[in-house]
Amino acid sequence: MSRLHLFALLIPIVTLAGTARADEAEDEKKQELLKELGGFDNSSLEFLSKGLDYGELYLKAPAARCTEIIAQLKALGVGPTEEVFARETFMFRKAPERCARYAGLQALGEAFPAIKEARSAANIVNGKNPGDAGATMWSKEGVTAGKACVDALNAVEAKGAVMDAVIASVDPKMTGAQTRTWCEELIKSSAALAGASADADAAKKKKAHDRYAKAGAKGDKLEWLVYYDPDGDGFTWYLSPTCKATDDPKTLAKAKVLIQLWENANGTWRVRKLTFKGPKKVKDVEREFEKKSDAYRFCK
C-alpha cells in the first residue's frame, strides 16, 4: 500500500476523533454553565433564608451574568425541559424567571443597611418616653433613620426590587413593601416623641435653672450647677475644707469651691475641684488617688 493510500485511510479516523473531542468539550462547557446557573438560584434561596443577617452578601455576582448563561446554554442547544440542578431543581424554561428573581432580590438587598439602621433606631426609640435621658436625641435619630429607610426602598423598587418577598429577621418579619410602611410609621412616632421630649427637656432645664438661680447662683457657677443637675432634682457636691456633702442650692450658690468625688471601677478615686471667684470659674483641677482618704484630704 502506498503512502498516499494510507494517508487517505487515516483522514476519516482523525476527523472522527477531533469531532468526539469537540463534542466532549461542548458537553463539559454545558455542564459547567448549568451548574453556574443553579448557583445563582441557590444564592437567591440563601438570601431569603438569611435576610437581614447579611443575606445580601450572597448576591454579589452580577445579575447580568445569569442571563448571559441562559443565552450561552441556548446556543449550545439546551432544550426547555433540561433540568437545572440546584437546591430546588427546575426546568431550563424557568431559568429567565429565576434570573429575574435573583436580580430583584439583589436590588432589594441594597436597601438592607438602611433597613437595619431603622430597626436598630426603633428598638431604642420605642423604649423611650418624653423626658427620658436621650429621648430627644434618639427620637431625631428615629426620624432620620426612618426617612433613609423609605428612600432606600423607593430607590430599589425603581430598580425592580422584589417587594413582596418576606425578609427573614427577628420579629416583625415583613416584606419590602411592609417594611416601607413600617419605616413611615417610625418617622411619625419618632417625630411625635421628639416634640414631646423637647417640651419635657425645656421644662427640666427651666426647673434646674430656677432651682439654682433663685438661690443666687449666676454666671459660670449657675452653668456648672445646672450641668451636673440637668433635671433640677438636686445633686450632691462636697465642700472645702471639710468635704461635707450637700445638695442645698443656697449653700452651693455661696460656696467658693465645689468638689465632685467618684470611685473608679478599679477602686481608685477621682476628684474634680472647681474654684470660683464670685460667679466666675477661675480654676478647674482633676486628680486621681489610690485611697479614699487621700481623695478626701484633697478637699482641704
pLDDT at 19: 56
Distance CA 155, CA 47 (A): 20
What are the start-end ranges of the H helices in 214-264?
Answer: 219-228, 249-254
Q: Is the pLDDT of residue 234 over 80?
A: yes
- Convert 71-133 into a string of H (helix), E (strand) and C (coil): HHHHHCCCCCCCEECCCCCEEHHHHHHHHHHHHHHHHHHCCHHHHHHHHHHHHHHCCCCCCCC
For 153-184, the pLDDT digits (tens) are: 999 999 999 999 999 999 999 999 999 999 99
pLDDT in tens, 12-35: 554 544 555 666 889 999 999 999
Q: Is the pLDDT of residue 299 over 90?
A: no
Query: pLDDT at residue 82 above 90?
Result: yes
Mean pLDDT of 94-118: 97
Predicted TM-score (pTM) of this structure = 0.70
The predicted-structure confidence for 235-248, as pLDDT tens digits, reads as follows 999 998 888 999 99
- Quote the pLDDT of residue 286: 93
Q: Residue 294's pLDDT band (boundaries 50, 70, 90)?
A: confident
Question: What pLDDT is attached to residue 300?
Answer: 72
Section 191-197 average pLDDT: 91
The closest alpha carbon to 33, from 95, 97, 101, belongs to 95
Q: Residue 116: what pLDDT?
A: 97
pLDDT in tens, 245-272: 999 999 999 999 999 998 999 999 999 9
